Amino acid sequence: MRLPALLAACIFVIPTYTTAQTPAADGVQAFLRGDIQAAIRILTPLAEGQPDADPVAAFFLALAYQSSPGWSGSMRACGLFRSADTASSPVALQARALAEALGGAAGLGFEQCMLAGRRGWGQPAWTAFTLAARHRVRIDADGFDVEYEGAAKRTKESWGGPGWKFLPTRLTELATTTTGQERRYFIELFVWAPHSKVDVPEWALLWFAYEVAGPDVIRLDGNGLVARFAGSMPPSSLPIDDYARFVIRDDASIERVVIGPEARQIPVPGRSSR
């Protein structure tokens, strides 16, 4: 289905978008000549992160994502196709067909696709922390870059979801000895994820935590629900320590603690046990 839809879109849209002086034209041209990364860079601000997305930009951005090597975010592409399915869109029929091919016409996949189309795709903001001298970590939507003692290591990790609202990424530094010489570093991401039903204004606050040990980044067990919120939009800021935090016990062990209705304690493995 994808090839006929793309060809049909090209017949009606490409002549206009390769000659007209429109913001999306450069992105469409980049896609057609096979420069996928340039197409993504140009089309993203036109298709995502704003209420009135350019439907043609959204359509070709979805195709660019699908053409990107190793990319597997079908719901993100599905949401973009839904964004391209508007009354004024010249690619509405093709976009609708491709969205239904990815998310179906009903069920969970359909709801996730509709959420991505209406609320957009949420990812964490680019963030960097200096942990110590010659020890630095950078976090982006695709993972971690760690610089440690002159060496660099990339750890891939994909975050994001339909309508997700990320809070600022947090660094927690803990001294696990009485002298404070041994320190452990934890990266925490908190995100509001909407309910799977498009018309249900409910949100779940999720907690993802990682330890940075030298050049390595280790994902911790126990990621998941911290709190719930009912309303059209969740809080953009809140006192996170009132909901979730790391705690050092008397024996110097570390736990992740969730406070409130979802209360639980999750032990953090010691370095020697890994």
- Residue 15: the pLDDT is 59
216-219 vs 183-194, strand pairing mode:
unpaired
**Which residues, in sequence order, are bridge partners of residue 258?**
244, 264
What integer pLDDT is reported at residue 135 of this predicted model? 97
pTM: 0.82
Give a three-class secondary structure readout of the chain.
CHHHHHHHHHHHHHHHHHHCCCCCHHHHHHHHCCCHHHHHHHHHHHHCCCCCCCHHHHHHHHHHHHHCCCCCCHHHHHHHHHHHCCCCCCCHHHHHHHHHHHHCCCCHHHHHHHHHHHHCEECCCCEEEEEECCEEEEEECCEEEEEECCEEEEEECCCCEECCEECCCEEEEEECCCCCCCEEEEEEEEEEEECCCCCCCEEEEEEEEEEEECCEEEECCCCEEEEEEECCCCCCCCCHHHCEEEEECCCCCEEEEECCCCCEEEEECCHHHC
Q: Over the stretch 99-128, which tens digit does the pLDDT of each residue have?
A: 999 988 888 889 889 988 988 889 898 999
In residues, how long is the chain?
A: 274
| Below-70 pLDDT ranges, the chain | 1-22, 49, 51, 70, 72, 177-181, 272-274
> For residue 53, which phi and psi values (nearest 5 degrees)?
-75, 145
CA gap 167, 63 in Å, rounded: 29
In order of 132, 133, 248, 251, the CA distances from 177 in angstroms are 17, 20, 10, 10
Tell me the average pLDDT of the chain: 87
pLDDT number for residue 1? 42
Q: Which two tokens stand for residue 102?
A: 């990815």
